[in-house]
Amino acid sequence: MLILILGTIGGLLLGAAPGLSPTMAVALLIPFTFHMTAEQGLIMLGSVYTATVAGGAISAILLKIPGAPANIATVMDGYPLAQQNRSKEALHYCFISSFIGGVIGIIVLIFFTPLLANFALEFGPSHMFWIAILGVTVIATLDSGSTLKGLFSGCLGLWLATIGYDAVLGVERFVVDPVFSGGINIIAALVGLFAIPQVFSLLEKKTEKSDQFQMEHKSLLSSLKYNFSRIKALSIGSIVGVIVGLIPGAGGQIAGLVSYDQIKKLSNDPTKFGKGEPDGVIAAESANNAMVGPSLVPLLTLSVPGSPTAAVLLGGLLIHGIFPGPDLFTTHAKTAWTFIDSLLIAQFAMLIFGLYISGLARYVMKTPKNYMAGIITVLAIFGTYSVQNSFADVIVMLSLGTFMYFISKFGFTAAPIVLGIILGPIAETNFTQAKIIADTQDGIVNYLVAGGLNVTMIGICILSIAYGTYSEFKTVKQKL
């Protein structure tokens, strides 16, 4: 319980800090969980994930800077509310609707996960290979603005995962320096690819002076009454959040923006939106939290993360020796259910501490960028080192981070690379096993495309690439 409370408070504060996304917060905390038991580590990561998504709304409302991409839609009406000296009211709506959306999302997670897990128990090496490829493809096409750049990044991650010893044949590959002899450590990659580019980005920009608002005295009871009277905004937000969460790779920003768009379209007076309409905050925040639970359904059952943060959580599960997938609820049933239950309890903790902390969060948000960059760097260095007491991991982390910052300037994103590194060994091991089986049959190509399930997964891979290309094409048309 103490870990859950600490995770929630830490997540709220990290989420409130501009630039610290839930993905990065979870990535930074993974090394700390290495010293905990699997249950403790997952409770910590789950509560941080839940709290950072809600905490990001604090800076969105008070500073007009979304703490995370999921809070982009919250800015639209949250900041105008703060300008009208109604910031406390806006924060109340934010945490209450986040709680409602979050609980609905976790209920979906509880009911859907075992159903999908039973189905996934039928999977063999060829299916697991395609599942890994599907995970990389989906994130590559949805997280990046460009399908081709996303696919390139995913392939780069898959290649980086092959550095070191081959798991099946035991051959050492691409060890150009002894630093890489153990392969690329998942945590070093996670922390480096997310945290170091953020340090560079913080330092290259000039801080914008933000207005400081007065916090009004607003009773929690009246906020609660009002919030529960906005059934339409809450329902739209929660339903959109659940649907978007179940689509692998879609993420909180899409949930928030789609629900904001829907509540605006269905409102009696759409002109109020953008000028401080509470329904805008309620719909956006209930949606981005309702997305959290369902985004973990494909992760826990198929190893396909539903969001970039879920991709990072996959790394957290792996370092505790838990491979999410078909047999998660048979081999690690206790750990899996502890994790899911803790997510539900974390929603209550998030509501209580969120309402309390929202008043204090102003101080965290005021942290100057130079200190923030220093803090992230030191945490990244110590966090990475502590996993294996290896300085080589720190070098890998800093090098990968610098390289990521450089290629991010060309429009490449970190999430597909990270997922490639995480799912690479799964894809390669199953590919090699499939090849060994196929050599006694009709050859590898026939084996990999045989059966309805393989064909379905190949179809989904092609569809996700086609959808990514179509969305990109549509964006090109809109911007012309």
Partner 1 sequence: MLNFGNKSVIFVSLFIAIALFYLSFYSGTPKEVEAYLFPRTITSIMLAVTIFLFYQNLENKFLERERKAPSVFPLNLSKLYPVGISILLFIFFAEDLGFYFSTTILFMFISIFYSEEKLDISNLIKSSCVCSLFMALIYILFTVLLKVQVPGFFLFE
Binding site for partner 1 (CB under 8 A): 32, 35, 145-146, 148-149, 151-152, 155-156, 158-159, 162, 166, 169, 171, 173-174, 199-200, 203-204, 206-207, 368-371, 373-375, 377-379, 381-382, 385-386, 389, 391, 394-395, 398, 402, 406-407, 409-411, 427-428, 431-432, 435, 475-476, 479-480
Q: What length is written for the chain?
A: 480
Query: For partner 1, which is the closer residue by CB, 356 or 473?
Result: 473
> Least distance in Å: CB of 6 to partner 1?
12
**Tally of CA atoms within 13 A in the half-sphere of 248 that contains its CB:** 29
Query: For partner 1, which is the closer residue by CB, 203 or 463?
Result: 203
> Least distance in Å: CB of 380 to partner 1?
10
Query: For partner 1, which is the closer residue by CB, 201 or 235?
Result: 201
Give the chain's radius of gyration (CA, Å). Answer: 22
The DSSP string of 208-246 is PP----PPP---HHHHHHHHHH-HHHHHHHHHHHHHHHH
Query: For partner 1, which is the closer residue by CB, 83 or 367?
Result: 367
b/e for 378-403, b at 16 or more Cβ within 10 A?
A: ebbbebbbebeebebbbbbbbebbeb
Interhelix angle 333-357/38-63, rounded to 10 degrees, is: 30
b/e for 292-314, b at 16 or more Cβ within 10 A?
A: bbbbbbbbbbbbbbbbbbbbbbb
Tell me how far apart the alpha carbons of residues 228 and 369 are, in angstroms, rounded to a whole number: 38
Q: Residue type for 371, please? A: Y
**Residues 280 and 260 sit within 8 Å (Cβ to Cβ):** yes
Residue 224 CA to chain centroid, in angstroms?
29
> Least distance in Å: CB of 465 to partner 1?
11
Query: Nearest Cα to 139, choosing from 262, 247, 279, 4?
Result: 247
Query: For partner 1, which is the closer residue by CB, 3 or 375?
Result: 375
**Residues 302 and 325 sit within 8 Å (Cβ to Cβ):** yes
> Least distance in Å: CB of 363 to partner 1?
13
Query: For partner 1, which is the closer residue by CB, 203 or 266?
Result: 203
> Least distance in Å: CB of 29 to partner 1?
12
- Classified as helix, coil or strand, 173 is strand
Query: For partner 1, which is the closer residue by CB, 333 or 378?
Result: 378
> Least distance in Å: CB of 84 to partner 1?
29
Query: For partner 1, which is the closer residue by CB, 83 or 469?
Result: 469
> Least distance in Å: CB of 114 to partner 1?
33
**Residues 418 and 193 sit within 8 Å (Cβ to Cβ):** yes
Query: For partner 1, which is the closer residue by CB, 35 or 275?
Result: 35
> Least distance in Å: CB of 474 to partner 1?
11
> Least distance in Å: CB of 70 to partner 1?
22
